[in-house]
Amino acid sequence: MPSHPLPQAVELMISPAKILPVGSDARVFNNCSLIVDKGKIIAISPTAQAHKTYTPQDHIILSEHVLMPGLINAHGHSAMTLLRGYADDLPLTQWLQEYIWPAENRWVNEHFVQDGTELAIAEMLKSGTTCYSDMYFYPETSAQVAHTSGIRAQITCPILDFPTPCARTPDEAINKCLALHDRYLDIGRITVGFGPHAPYTVSDEIFERIGILSAERQAPIQVHLHETAQEVSEAIRNTGERPISRLHKLGVITPLTQCVHMTTLNDHDIERLSLSGASVIHCPESNLKLASGLCPTQQLLDAGITVGLGTDGAASNNDLDLFGELHTAALIGKLSANSASAINAYQALHMATLGGAKALGIGHLTGSLDIGKACDAIAIKLDDLSSLPLYNLASQLVYTHQSRQVSDVWVEGKRLLQDGKLCTLNEDNIKHRAKAWATKIS
């Protein structure tokens, strides 16, 4: 009698109606299962065959769902969620100088950052985000909250020429960043990098030092750049050159650099970006709300530049819903390019997943449901009225605001959201503390 191999014991099998891996193409797997062991994807197999090949410790059947990579919010200021709606309908400079910076100087401390970051992570998990990038004060607190929650995160330490709530000088901020970077070197879910705020708040000397340290440590740099036409025109008037040209001379525009906003670009800027290997983080809703401008995303993609999506902070958005962001990115991408075919649905999904992962330098770890990558995945119900009838899965995910249909979330195979309920965070407690801050600040 021929012997048959015994089924392989694995940690997790997820059997949805559809799987959208978001890899090199837009293919969809029907009636297949995702097989996970030790937090990593080891196979996508037809469900009937998977039952014969694997014996999972946990088998999750999601017969009305699509399974796809978790979304990646590639730029934000998580603790600023406590300032949601605090100052609205104002241009960027007035919003920052007259409202946000004074409020931060008065209220921001470690407790503010802890409570605001937990609020942000809870909101992101419930809307399908499995990884986010944060640039805010007390980054050591942000990193600890992210680590405890189970989410994946990039923490970029804010660096400015003037005193901040957590550093009196830029040198102090850099030294704290280096210490935090070393602390999380062996924790794969948490990456630490440099966050020089913007060309108009950081000197040449500090930018040069950051460029050198980034290269030495292979640590990412995230910087607000070319956010508005005013920023660019003032830079030309004050320095004689465009901000991106200045930062390129200072050694800051490299493959490790993530350029946030980038609404005011000419052909030379785009060519420089393409040659440098730097990435762009597009924050469409924040840019719209602050009337900062439109990032030419299709032109950037055509030039081979990696583009990810970010929400920015909830003080300028006012939500952290990346499904809403990719919907807006698709629509204004068409307007910016003056073409209905620009930023198609799959390109928008790609920017929100694998594009964001590549921009953050973690495309080998996450961003798509490929064998060998971490199981950072989300399940979305497809039986809602707004999801029917279903002809094109990518189109449905992009154009119908599916965040309200997110039911389950996994990071490294660990379930962080189950049937819409948070598994590692106390939602009632988070709400209570957010309301207490609103009473105090108002």
Does the pLDDT at position 25 exceed 80?
no
If you average pLDDT over residues 76-98, what whole number do you get?
A: 92
Task: State the total domains in the chain.
Answer: 2
Residue 364 lies in a domain: no
User: Residue 325 is which amino acid?
Assistant: E
Closest CA to 324 of 290, 288, 292, 362: 288
Asked whether residue 40 falls in the same domain as residue 167, the answer is: no
Considering only residues 4 and 166, tell me which one the structure prediction assigns the higher pLDDT: 166
And the tokens for 133? 């990038």
351: closest CA among 301, 293, 294, 296?
Answer: 301
Average pLDDT, the chain: 96
Q: Is 200 found in the same domain as 168?
A: yes
pLDDT higher than 60, residue 208: yes
pLDDT of residue 1 exceeding 60:
no
* Selection from 193, 217, 369, 412 nearest residue 281 by Cα: 193
DSSP per-residue codes, 289-335? HTT-----HHHHHHTT--EEE----GGGSS---HHHHHHHHHHHHHH
| 26 inside domain | yes
Instruction: Summarize the confidence of residues 296-322 as an average pLDDT.
Output: 96
Check residue 96 and report its DSSP letter.
Answer: I
Of the residues 311, 341, 359, the one at which a domain ends: 359
**Please, is 86 exposed, middle or buried when counting C-beta atoms within 10 Å of its C-beta (0-12, 13-18, 19+)?**
middle
In a domain, 277, yes or no: yes
**In terms of Cα–Cα distance, which of 375, 380, 305 is closest to 347?**
305
Q: Are residues 148 and 18 in the same domain?
A: no
What pairing do the DSSP bridges indicate for beta strands 307-309 and 279-282?
parallel
Tell me, yes or no, whether 339 lies in a domain: yes
| Phi, psi at 356, each rounded to 5° | -65, -40
The answer to whether residue 3 scores a pLDDT higher than 50 is yes
Say if residue 148 is in the same domain as residue 206.
Answer: yes
Using the predicted structure, report yes or no on whether residue 90 has a pLDDT greater than 90: no
Q: Do residues 150 and 279 both lie within one domain?
A: yes
Residue 166 or residue 353, greater confidence: 353
Strands 190-196 and 152-159: parallel
Q: pLDDT tens digits for 372-391? A: 999 999 999 999 888 889 99
Residues 409 and 277 in one domain: no
Determine the Cα–Cα distance for residues 55 and 432; give it in Å rounded to an integer. 42
In a domain, 430, yes or no: no
d(CA 267, CA 121): 37
Q: Looking at residue 313, which CATH number applies to its domain?
A: 3.20.20.140
pLDDT mean over 344-363: 97
What's 386's domain CATH number?
Answer: 2.30.40.10
pLDDT value, residue 11: 97
Residues 394, 365, 261, CA angle at the centre, nearest 5°? 65
* pLDDT value of residue 2: 52
Average pLDDT value for residue range 309-330 = 96
DSSP state of 5: P
Mean pLDDT of 267-291: 97
Cα separations in angstroms, 170 against 76, 80, 207, 293: 21, 21, 10, 29
- Do 349 and 416 lie in one domain? The reply is no
Please state, in angstroms and rounded to a whole number, the distance separating the CA atoms of residues 129 and 125. Answer: 5
Torsion of CA 112, 185, 71, 324, to 10 degrees: 30
- 157 with 177, same domain: the answer is yes
pLDDT at 4: 65
Together in a domain, 259 and 407? no
Tell whether 121 is covered by a domain: yes
433 lies in some domain: no
Instruction: Please write the tens of the pLDDT for every residue from 107-122.
Output: 999 999 999 999 999 9
What's the pLDDT tens digit per position in 148-191?
999 999 999 999 999 999 999 999 999 999 999 999 999 889 99
Domain, as residue range, for 417:
8-69+369-422
Position 208 in a domain: yes
Residue 36 has pLDDT above 50, yes or no: yes
Task: Name the residue among 323, 304, 313, 319 with its Cα closest to residue 399.
Answer: 323
* Same-domain status, 112 and 29: no
User: What CA–CA distance (Å, rounded) separates 218 from 75?
Assistant: 19
Which helix (H) or strand (E) covers residue 248, if one does? helix 243-249
Kindly state the percentage of the chain with pLDDT values over 70.
Answer: 99
H-run or E-run covering 43: strand 40-46
Bridge partner list, 22: none
Q: What is the pLDDT of residue 261?
A: 98
The answer to whether the CB of 137 falls within 8 A of the CB of 157 is: no
Within this chain, do residues 277 and 374 fall inside the same structural domain, yes or no? Answer: no
Per-residue pLDDT at 283: 98
Residues 290 and 402 in one domain: no
Mean pLDDT of 398-406: 92
